[in-house]
Amino acid sequence: MASTLISNPVTNSDRARDSAKKKKKKKSQAIRDETQNPNTNHDSTQWKSEVQQQVYSSKLLQALRGVRLSSSPSAPRRGRSVREAADRVLAVTAKGRTRWSRAILTNRLKLKFMKNKRQRVTVTGSTRSKKPRLSILRLKSKNLPAVQRKVRVLGRLVPGCRKEPLPVILEEATDYIAALEMQVRAMTALTELLSGSSFGAGSSASPASQLGSSGPPTS
Amino acid sequence: MSSRRSRSRQPGTSRITDDQINQLVSQLQQLLPEIRNRHSDKVSAAKVLQETCNYIRSLHKEVDDLSERLSELLATTDTSSAEAAIIRSLLMQ
């Protein structure tokens, strides 16, 4: 026990020194990033950077390999599982700093545990939505029914933002759109790569290599 | 204006100014491709929000289509050739 007491201050000071070093490194890199991209925010992750896209692509590849092995070969389920894997990897790449990424990750866990209890969840949900909210205040632009309605719709589109107030939804939507754009870019590049590889595979590849982009091999 | 006083006493509302909301909306406006290309400053908040919803829906659809294509490609192409192509492209970058 005495040894652990002695070692604690040592590790704390080490950690403090390491964190100070990391902060200095982060600061210099942040300054470099800012001088290159003056439009990026401090808080949001850099969704436009190439590094981020490569990180996402490599993680997506690993996840997709796992998806291929486990999913059944029926068409609608396969696309759905690829989409879910892509969203999950996107949430992981966000490093949990945003609500939508955390919501995506926790929703997976919830669905896994609550597959049989889904009916109970829907019953309680219907009784809660009876409160009228729009009739109370109609003073500033934030409380105009049109804007309010649209923000609610937006909150439903962005995962995890259904009950959040207006500024939170707007902020989450900003980050979510940037992340989705990166997701589209990465998946497009991956698709082109894979379809290009089946093009240039030649005779050494498996007999399933295709010449066109659609349709099964006729042989 | 009595509106400000009554609003501050509400327990559920947070103290957000209109300026903050406008700033967030304009930030969102910068991300939307359509509104950005029109060079107009006087876009209403409702329009920006509507465009945002449409844009997110279209991005979702694009991701769905891409995952469909990816799932087809993954099922039909050979594992080794796909991985070799990917590794080659990563090395060339």
Name the DSSP letter for residue A158: S
**Domain count along chain A:** 1
Q: Which of A159-163, A169-173, B12-16 has the highest mean pLDDT?
A: A169-173
Looking at per-residue pLDDT, the higher value among A127 and B57 belongs to B57
Comparing alpha-carbon positions, the chain A residue that sits nearest to B1 is A139
ipTM summary value: 0.73
Task: Kindly write down the DSSP assignment for every residue of A49-106, as one continuous string.
Answer: SHHHHHHHHHHHHHHHHHHHHHS-S-HHHHHHHHHHHHHHHHHHHTTT-SHHHHHHHH
What does the angle CA B59 – CA B33 – CA A141 come to, to the nearest 5 degrees? 95
Amino acid B74: pLDDT: 74
CA distance A6 to chain B (A): 47
Q: What is the pLDDT of residue B57?
A: 93
Q: For position A38, what pLDDT does the model report?
A: 45
Give residues with Cβ within 8 angstroms of A146, minimum separation 6: B46
Is some CB atom of chain B closer than 8 A to the CB atom of A53?
no
Segment A92-132, tens digit of pLDDT: 888 878 888 888 888 777 776 766 555 444 444 444 445 54
Q: Which domain holds residue A192?
A: 46-117+143-196
Mutate to test the interface with B, among A51, A84, A150, A172 (most CBs of B within 10 A): A150
**Per-residue tokens: B67:** 């995952």
CB pairs A-B closer than 8 Å = 162
- Considering CB atoms only, which of A87, A187, A208 is closest to B76? A208
Query: A71 in a domain, yes or no?
Result: yes
Q: What is the pLDDT of residue B62?
A: 92
- Centre a 10 Å sphere on the Cβ of residue B59 and count the other Cβ atoms it contains: 18
> Which residues of chain A make contact with B78, given a CB cutoff of 8 A?
201, 205-206, 208-209
Is residue A104 situated within a structural domain?
yes
Q: What is the pLDDT of residue A212?
A: 39
| d(C-alpha B90, C-alpha A27), whole Å | 28
pLDDT given at position A134: 45
Which of B6, B45, B55 has its CB closest to that of A147? B45
Query: What's chain A's average pLDDT?
Result: 66
Name residues 16-35 of chain B within 8 A of A (Cβ): 16, 18, 20-21, 24-25, 27-28, 31
The pLDDT tens digits of the residues spanning A63-79 come to: 777 766 555 556 566 77
DSSP assigned state of A203: G
pTM for this predicted structure: 0.62
Q: Is residue A162 assigned to a domain?
A: yes
